[in-house]
């Protein structure tokens, strides 16, 4: 499977962009702050509805700098996927700030969770070092991401678990407050919440345990491939319930973390045992929210004992193991390498480059071309910020040299893929440089020259660039709200119902030029 087209509106730093992604390894090349990571983040977000950089969905919607420009309320992500060379599918997601998201498959309205699993990705990024050195919550999220891609229905179980976890914690917090004021805690509904919390917690832990068990062998094998070490990587699942009450030899199922009913009984027993402590502290002390993924090299835990290089190798092995695991059912995920080659030495680069050959599609971001192994023979989309004309994305064919004066070069097939994007508007006047090599340029609108390129800058605003704007060719212009017929009339509000049969405002046809 691969993504052949990507369209974004008001996503992170990008006001509007449409790209046709070529087959084979693809590199988004550009200096820091150009918005290259935002492009791969959009693709990865469709896989699990989570970002490897931010936790709040609202941060994904573009934030303009200029006060006169109204802040967009929603962002759009749209991709066309290709399976088995001929099966095409368009997947669309509308991310609404502060409201429920909306989704469509081939322009038919669906529930957002129905698109989970349609686009599979594995992302390796500098933030993945936290898989080794960070808190258990990072490793729990890692297992959840894999589980959602393997079993999309798990996303609903996890969402229900998070909701019940918050509700039960609120009850404990209220009981703590009553106890401190000398009152008898009100626990009239706690048994109901205990039952529901135990059920969902057991399901979440059982799923994570199975994922960790399946991941153990491919991750260990990947570590041996990329690390120059005599020690082997070992994975284990550290369940909260085991730390709290241990195993019961009289209950044969108590030691099997995959046995949901047995774990539910153990959790209910733990709740009774820990009740006073939970009320005193006002928190949930046992449950899936305290699980962890154990990582060891030999007999030593990785966290606190592994060197910097070993930690990088473990993080890389976890992602490569995830890639190998997900492709076992015949659906090879898209491998996204977000600015990681600069962090790896030559041996780890070589090990990663070898694995790239097994992927149907690899998308790489890099600040300098020297960071990308030359043997990949990759296409290069250069993201160049020019405050006079706006951001431009340049596509270089393998082996092509950069032209001296990068300009807007006419595509051989500017119409792109039928049904995904329109043909070039007459308002665009491409010019071909005499010195230009076989290079295609897509002129897009970027919201920033100081984009949301790092997680630390997720709330920074960005300035609107001046860019060539093609006329709207039918549908609604997402930037101005105008349609081709009215040429100035305001766009109608998107209806509240996600099932409206005439929802033309949802991810309109883009009006930019596609790279070929």
Tokens of 209: 């345990």
How large is the greatest C-alpha to C-alpha distance in the chain, in angstroms? 85
33 labelled ligand-binding: yes
Where helices occur in 153-259 by DSSP H, the ranges are 154-180, 190-226, 240-245
Pairing of strands 121-124, 233-238: unpaired
Residue with tokens 């979440």: 204
Tokens of 302: 């990785």
36 labelled ligand-binding: yes
Write the CA distances from 432 to 19, 21, 72, 516, integer angstroms.
20, 22, 35, 16
The kind and range of the H/E element at 148 are helix 136-150
The span from the CA of 312 to the CA of 227, in Å, is 9
Contact 360, 8 (CB under 8 A): no
Give the three-class secondary structure for 202.
helix
Decide: residue 210, CB within 10 A, 0-12 exposed, 13-18 middle, 19+ buried: middle
Tokens of 4: 């052949």
5 labelled ligand-binding: no
31 labelled ligand-binding: yes
Tokens of 20: 């046709």
User: What are the beta bridge partners of residue 443?
Assistant: 392
Among 92, 93, 95, smallest CA distance to 62 is for 95
30 labelled ligand-binding: yes
The kind and range of the H/E element at 139 are helix 136-150
Long-range contacts of 225-228 (CB under 8 A, 24+ apart): 225/320, 225/351, 225/354, 225/355, 226/313, 226/316, 226/317, 226/320, 226/347, 226/348, 226/351, 226/352, 227/310, 227/313, 227/317, 227/348, 228/347
Radius of gyration of the chain (CA): 25
Q: What is the DSSP string of 304-343?
A: TTS-HHHHHHHHHHHHHHHHHHHGGGS-PPEEEEES-GGG
The span from the CA of 104 to the CA of 109, in Å, is 4
Indicate the annotated binding residues. 30-37
Binding residues for ATP, by number, are 30-37
């Amino acid at each position: 499977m691969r993504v052949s087209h990507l369209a974004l509106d008001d996503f992170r730093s990008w006001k509007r962009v449409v790209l046709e992604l070529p087959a084979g390894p693809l590199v988004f090349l550009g200096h820091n702050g150009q918005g290259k990571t935002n492009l791969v983040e959009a693709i990865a977000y469709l896989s699990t509805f989570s970002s490897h950089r931010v936790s709040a969905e609202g941060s994904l919607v573009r934030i303009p700098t200029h006060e006169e420009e109204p802040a967009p309320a929603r962002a759009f992500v749209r991709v066309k996927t290709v399976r088995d060379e001929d099966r095409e599918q368009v997947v669309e997601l509308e991310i609404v700030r502060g409201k429920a998201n909306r989704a469509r498959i081939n322009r038919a309205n669906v529930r957002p969770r129905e698109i989970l699993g349609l686009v599979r990705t594995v992302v390796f990024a500098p933030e993945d070092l936290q898989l080794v050195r960070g808190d258990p919550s990072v490793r729990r999220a890692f297992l959840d991401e894999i589980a959602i891609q393997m079993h999309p229905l798990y996303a609903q179980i996890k969402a229900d678990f998070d909701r019940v976890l918050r509700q039960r914690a609120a009850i404990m917090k209220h009981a703590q407050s009553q106890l401190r004021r000398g009152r008898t805690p009100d626990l009239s509904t706690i048994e109901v919440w205990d039952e529901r919390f135990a059920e969902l917690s057991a399901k979440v832990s059982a799923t994570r345990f199975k994922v960790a068990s399946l991941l153990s062998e491919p991750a260990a094998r990947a570590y041996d491939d990329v690390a120059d070490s005599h020690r082997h990587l070992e994975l284990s699942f550290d369940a909260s319930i085991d730390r709290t009450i241990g195993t019961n030899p009289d209950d044969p199922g108590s030691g099997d973390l995959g046995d949901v009913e047995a774990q539910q009984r153990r959790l209910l027993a733990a709740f009774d045992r820990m009740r006073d402590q939970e009320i005193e502290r006002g928190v949930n002390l046992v449950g899936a929210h305290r699980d962890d993924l154990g990582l060891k090299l030999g007999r030593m835990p990785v966290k606190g004992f592994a060197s910097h290089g070993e930690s990088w190798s473990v993080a890389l092995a976890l992602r490569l193991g995830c890639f190998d695991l997900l492709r076992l059912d015949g659906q090879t995920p898209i491998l996204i390498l977000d600015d990681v080659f600069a962090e790896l030495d030559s041996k780890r680069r070589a090990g990663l480059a070898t694995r790239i050959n097994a992927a149907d599609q690899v998308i790489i971001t890099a600040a300098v071309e020297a960071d990308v192994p030359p043997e990949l023979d990759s296409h290069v989309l250069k993201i160049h910020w020019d405050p006079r004309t706006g951001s431009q994305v340049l596509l270089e064919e393998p082996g092509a040299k950069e032209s001296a004066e990068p300009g807007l070069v006419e595509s051989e097939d500017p119409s792109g893929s039928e049904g995904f994007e329109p043909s070039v508007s007459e308002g665009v006047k491409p010019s071909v440089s005499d010195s230009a090599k076989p290079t295609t340029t897509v002129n897009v609108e970027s919201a920033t020259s100081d984009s949301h390129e790092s997680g630390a800058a997720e709330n920074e605003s960005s300035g609107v660039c001046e860019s060539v704007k093609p006329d709207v060719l039918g549908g609604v212009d997402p930037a101005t709200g105008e349609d081709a017929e009215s040429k100035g009339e305001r766009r109608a509000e998107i209806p509240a119902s996600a099932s409206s049969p005439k929802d033309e405002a949802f991810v309109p046809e883009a009006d930019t030029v596609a790279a070929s």
